[in-house]
Amino acid sequence: MANPSLLILAGDGIGPEVMSEVKRIITWLGDKRDLHIDVEEDLVGGAAYDVHGTPLADSTMARAQEVDAVLLGAVGGPKYDVLDFSVKPERGLLRLRKEMDLYANLRPAQCFDALADFSSLKKDLVSGLDILIVRELTSGVYFGEPRGIHEENGTRVGINTQRYTEHEIERGARAAFELAMKRDKKLCSMEKANVMESGILWRDVVTEVHADYPEVELSHMYADNGAMQLVRAPKQFDVIYTDNLFGDILSDCAAMLTGSLGMLPSASLGAPMANGRPKAMYEPVHGSAPDIAGTGKANPCACILSLAMALRYSYDAGVEATRLENAVETVLAQGVRTGDLMQKTGGKAASTAEMGDAIIAALTASL
């Protein structure tokens, strides 16, 4: 059987640095676990713009459609802020999500024991926290038409449209219910049905899908209340299902509960391909962090944990995924920390590569 394939798009800022550590782990998996992944690399975001004048070349888009999974680093940076909207680095990312039809964006927020002190919330509120936000990723106000900026009676008007079809809400809801079935069987759906028709439809459709998952306890919450509840008592949640815009905001909020954005992976999944696995792209939740790019200080954990998600969801290698997640946890418990995970008075921060060294050592020790 052919090796599984992976398209790496390291992108901008700290993307290439954290991706170097991921590549070392892929090599380790081949050497030590006989799990060989065929890796190819290409450009996205500002890096692609610099070469092609577009944040995602058509040839890259085509390869993304063919491989078993895509792993993306980060896009964007101050250098590109002046670009026209249509060629900004973020457009490359949105094109991948849209054209691959990656409608279910899984954003776990898990608090590692060793990091519970880093949360801006009190330790007892977050220790043991393990929630999963499922964000609809291909529709809603990010993509709805009409959109644009035009002039009306001498004044400029900016328009975006929140638009959801029943089908779009339903397929994401099914993904969320399926995931809830494998966890604590609790799903909270968030919208603004009190002020938005799309929210009313959202609530109706999720309730209809619930009929197929009677074992799951379903609740509904207005998204603003959801934001409050996430910082008041986050452990009340198991799986949260919400739309593209609310999910963008709520997942940043949930991420920070865990102490550092530098720890959080994500998976964006679409419909099953011929091999039965979903079309998939994996990315760390953190951005390109231009302030520390090129300094070797970035935390590679979120990108490494994104590889773990790829092992689980795209490569049928759940055992290796768990091994990798455990290795990260072991290293944190040993006190190895990149700068983002240091107390102000703490000792010497590990570099990106030193963090990678420690994780590989923990992997080897696990054999």
From the list 39, 113, 29, the residue with the least C-alpha distance to 319 is 29
Between residues 75 and 239, which has the closer beta carbon with respect to ligand IPM? 75
Please tell me whether residue 340 binds Mg ion under the rule CB under 5 A. no
| CB atoms inside a 10 Å sphere around CB 32 | 14
Q: Which one of 17-25, 48-56, 147-155, 244-252 is the stretch in contact with Mg ion (CB under 5 A)? A: 244-252
Between residues 37 and 256, which has the closer beta carbon with respect to Mg ion? 256
| The one among 248, 320, 325, 340 contacting ligand IPM by CB under 6 A | 248
Q: How far is the C-alpha of 138 from the C-alpha of 93, rounded, in Å?
A: 11
What's the min distance (Å) between Cβ of 45 and Mg ion?
A: 15
Q: Which one of 80-88, 119-127, 201-209, 243-251 is the stretch in contact with Mg ion (CB under 5 A)? A: 243-251
Instruction: Tell how far CA 346 is from the center of its chain.
Output: 29
Region of residue 195 (left: phi > 0; alpha: psi -120 to 50; beta: else): alpha
Radius of gyration over every alpha carbon of the chain, rounded to an integer in angstroms: 20
Please tell me whether residue 18 binds ligand IPM under the rule CB under 6 A. no
Q: Give DSSP secondary structure letters for 92-140.
A: HHHHHHHHTT--EEEEEEE--GGGGGGSSS-HHHHTT-EEEEEEE-SSG
What's phi and psi for 70, nearest 5 deg?
A: -115, 140
Q: How far is the C-alpha of 145 from the C-alpha of 71, rounded, in Å?
A: 29
Please choose which of Mg ion, ligand IPM, none residue 196 contacts, taking the beta carbon within 5 to 8 angstroms, the exact cut-off set by kind: none
Between residues 141 and 349, which has the closer beta carbon with respect to Mg ion? 141
Instruction: Tell how far CA 143 is from the center of its chain.
Output: 19
Six token digits for residue 225: 């209340």
Catalytic: 142? Answer: yes
Catalytic: 252? Answer: yes
What's the min distance (Å) between Cβ of 93 and Mg ion?
A: 10
Catalytic: 192? Answer: yes
From the list 295, 312, 285, 296, the residue with the least C-alpha distance to 355 is 296
Residue of 80, 142, 164, 282 with catalytic role = 142
Q: Find all residues with CB under 8 Å of 41, minimum gap 6, and list them.
A: 7, 8, 9, 10
Please tell me whether residue 254 binds ligand IPM under the rule CB under 6 A. no
Please choose which of ligand IPM, Mg ion, none residue 90 contacts, taking the beta carbon within 5 to 8 angstroms, the exact cut-off set by kind: ligand IPM
Please tell me whether residue 90 binds ligand IPM under the rule CB under 6 A. yes
Q: How far is the C-alpha of 33 from the C-alpha of 331, rounded, in Å?
A: 20
What's the min distance (Å) between Cβ of 77 and ligand IPM?
A: 12
Between residues 75 and 327, which has the closer beta carbon with respect to ligand IPM? 75
Catalytic: 184? Answer: no
Please tell me whether residue 248 binds Mg ion under the rule CB under 5 A. yes
Q: Which one of 34-42, 88-96, 273-281, 355-363 is the stretch in contact with ligand IPM (CB under 6 A)? A: 88-96
What's the min distance (Å) between Cβ of 293 and ligand IPM?
A: 15
What's the min distance (Å) between Cβ of 362 and ligand IPM?
A: 29
Six token digits for residue 321: 């995924």
Residue of 38, 101, 130, 252 with catalytic role = 252
Catalytic: 248? Answer: yes
Q: Which one of 33-41, 45-53, 90-98, 191-199 is the stretch in contact with ligand IPM (CB under 6 A)? A: 90-98
Between residues 49 and 213, which has the closer beta carbon with respect to ligand IPM? 49
Please tell me whether residue 320 binds Mg ion under the rule CB under 5 A. no
Q: Which residue has the tokens 């901008």?
A: 12
Please list the alpha-helical segments (H only) found in 221-351: 223-232, 244-257, 301-313, 318-333
Please tell me whether residue 267 binds ligand IPM under the rule CB under 6 A. no
| CB atoms inside a 10 Å sphere around CB 23 | 17
Active site residues: 142, 192, 224, 248, 252
| Contacts to ligand IPM by CB under 6 A | 90, 93-94, 248
| Contacts to Mg ion by CB under 5 A | 248
